[in-house]
Chain A
Amino acid sequence: METAIELKGITKTYKGERQAAVCNVSLKVKKGSIITLLGPSGCGKTTTLRLIAGFERPESGEISIGGKLMAGEKTWVSAEKRKIGMVFQDYALFPHLNVEENIGFGYRGKDKKERVQEVLEMVNLLGFEHKGVHHLSGGQQQRVALARALAKRPEVILLDEPFSNLDTNLKQTMRNEVRRILKKANATGILVSHDQKDALAISDEIVVMKGGIIQQKGSPRKIYQFPNNAFVAGFVGESNMMEGTVEPGKRWIRTDIGRIPCNQYHIISEGEKILISLRPNGFQLAEDGEIEGNVETYSYVGEYLEARISVTTQKKEKTSLLVYLHPNETVQQGDLLKFRVSANFVSVVKN
């Protein structure tokens, strides 16, 4: 597959800051894919996006788009010449222009009118051409912003926190919509988000960042089920972390609360002491379960039943596990429950 964007060893430090906002980041994005830069605020994800867009200049490293060098030691292509579409947080629609003028802004082809119609159709906003952008709802504004970014047929679309201003229902619709539209336009999309749900729902690939450094890259499933460090495990969803020793055969990890299955045997060795992450979804109620404990607290959150289970370790100490039960289950405080653990939610993490 062709590479749409490539970052090589990009570092950027803001003036007056001691720590680099982005530190030696390298990344390849496949053409036509949608990736999300995910992380808490200050992790460098927005800076990375702005570096790609050309609003910031790296102090070292190279950025190429479509195989052409955009920023490097001696090269600098300014933002307006990069041919990248961008959807801004809060959309940054021009308040003095109507929908049509916003979308057509900067479009130089003779087919401006037709193209505007085309993208309006793509975002389902036909008929809104002459509306002022103030009169649009949040979702509509976002569609206009997307249409504007798409109008010039850029190969790459950058989206900065695109869903942060939408309410929950609209958010879900727009996640699907944006994915559909990007795929239809055959554009490469790079999103920035601090919301794991956005990232999991929309992306082909997720890049988790922290402190300007990439923590893990991978498919949403891989990131969720097999976080490879404690930060990712904690940031993308919730997780139970525990130490353990690899048993002979490398299929089981012995921990304080019992044996945990693991299918990442290719990266561990017998007798090794490792840290594992156990997703709360990995527990299933089972009569013959090896792990047992009493319900400490529980709360029903709709999609599942979230329970804290107090487990007695082999050293006779109490430890607490977070477990998602099927919402069908009914439990009482103090109930004794037995669990089986699914290896698909157990991940070996680095410290």
Chain B
Amino acid sequence: MNVLNHKKKLILIGLLIAIIALAGCNEATGDEDAGELVVYSARNENFVDALLQKFHEDTGIEVQALHGGDTVVNRVKEESNNVQGDIFISNDVGALEHLRIEGLLEPIEREDFPGIDEQYRGEDNSWVALSARTRVLMYNKDLITEEEMPKNIWDLTDPQYEGAFAITRGGNGGMIGHVSALRNEWGDQRTMEWIEGVKDNAGGILQGHGDIRRAVGAGEFKFGLVNNYYFHQQLQEPSNNNVDVIYPDQGDDEMGAVVNAAGFGRIKEGPNAKSVNVFVDWILEAENQQMFSNASLEVPINPDIEVIEGARAISEYKVQGMSLRELGDVWEDTRRLIEESGLDLEIR
């Protein structure tokens, strides 16, 4: 039998002590004077990190951030009687509204929201949208000209574009928001026809918009249905950046481009109420709103804030009329409708 000698035993005991000490370290940090703030973010980590870093530097509040993608929505739901998070940062208003309707958000204690129109806030002010993301068609100028591009969303079902473009899977938040707006505009019947047509016509159904922009930039597809900031992101790439954009449905009798927004909500009964108030005041400062939008190259909701170079302010184009507030209500129905139309929610 293999038996350890004393020296080895000592080393092992030392290791055990180290483990315990290491475990202890974790507990030692935590509540400092300035307090802390727990942020659950569904947004891309790179868009949020610098912002939260600045918040910490400005206020001294320790930020605990969880960048969990879409899974954080469910986490907020599951933790409802054991609330861990204070602030939920979302890519799309649908998620914010969904949580609000579920009773998982609570009103932000503040009277005025300078520059943020009422329609971009929850009706109880439990969430605030900060940056707009508009559904656009980004195209590769090497492969297709502006003239050849479809000018409205319905045209995506046109056989002449068969195989030419990419869309995301049906379960993508941006896609769900888009379809919700189409239902609002067209009714369910026509929307389903559109989905069926687009699904068959599309050259690729990809996981996310990042994949689409890279693929279009690289010339795998002539164009793709994305949010406008992906276009700006692609422009910043060192290569594969010969792309341009169409804001669809801008004709007089057309519905206008579909807009979704990113913003934040206040999680109900979050553990750090004081820090939440500090955060709200801080994020509503103009420079921070701008930082929130600019990080992702989105366009600020607040018309007083300067947009990034080359981007079009939300006031410069026609916008589809559905209020973002309605998104949460129809979210689940829309998912079901997408599924029933044969567009898979997940990549298969």
Contacts and interface: CB of A to CB of B under 8 A. Distances in A.
Contacts of A96: 1, 3
A109 interface: no
Interface string A69-106: 00000000000000000000000000110000000000
A95 B1 CA distance: 7
Contacts of A95: 1, 3
Nearest to A132: B3
Interface in B1-57: 1, 3
A131 to B, nearest CB: 15
A95 B3 CA distance: 8
A96 B2 CA distance: 9
B4 to A, nearest CB: 8
A167 B108 CA distance: 90
B214 to A, nearest CB: 61
Interface string A251-272: 0000000000000000000000
Nearest to A97: B3
A262 B1 CA distance: 58
A94 to B, nearest CB: 10
Contacts of B3: 95-96
Interface residues on A, range: under 10
A96 B1 CA distance: 8
A133 to B, nearest CB: 11
Nearest to B5: A96
Contacts of B1: 95-96
A96 B3 CA distance: 6
A67 to B, nearest CB: 41
Nearest to B3: A96
A255 B3 CA distance: 67
A213 B3 CA distance: 43
Nearest to A96: B3
A95 B2 CA distance: 9
A10 to B, nearest CB: 36
A23 B243 CA distance: 95
Nearest to A95: B1
A322 B1 CA distance: 49
B97 to A, nearest CB: 63
B2 to A, nearest CB: 10
B164 to A, nearest CB: 74
B9 to A, nearest CB: 11
Interface string A91-135: 000011000000000000000000000000000000000000000
B182 to A, nearest CB: 70
A149 to B, nearest CB: 22
A37 B3 CA distance: 36
A325 B50 CA distance: 106
B204 to A, nearest CB: 65
A210 to B, nearest CB: 37
A96 B6 CA distance: 11
Nearest to B1: A95
A20 to B, nearest CB: 36
B95 to A, nearest CB: 59
B219 to A, nearest CB: 70
A275 B304 CA distance: 122
Nearest to A134: B1
A96 B5 CA distance: 9
Interface in A246-303: none
B236 to A, nearest CB: 66
A211 to B, nearest CB: 37
B8 to A, nearest CB: 12
B31 to A, nearest CB: 47
A327 B1 CA distance: 48
Nearest to B4: A96
B10 to A, nearest CB: 16
A292 B1 CA distance: 62
A96 B8 CA distance: 14
A242 B3 CA distance: 60
A96 B4 CA distance: 9
A97 to B, nearest CB: 9
A90 to B, nearest CB: 13
A15 B173 CA distance: 62
Interface string A133-159: 000000000000000000000000000
Interface string B271-312: 000000000000000000000000000000000000000000
B197 to A, nearest CB: 70
A118 to B, nearest CB: 28
A297 to B, nearest CB: 50
- 4 smallest CB-CB distances across A and B, nearest first, come from A96-B3, A95-B1, A95-B3, A96-B1
Interface of B: 1, 3
4 contacts: A95-B1, A95-B3, A96-B1, A96-B3
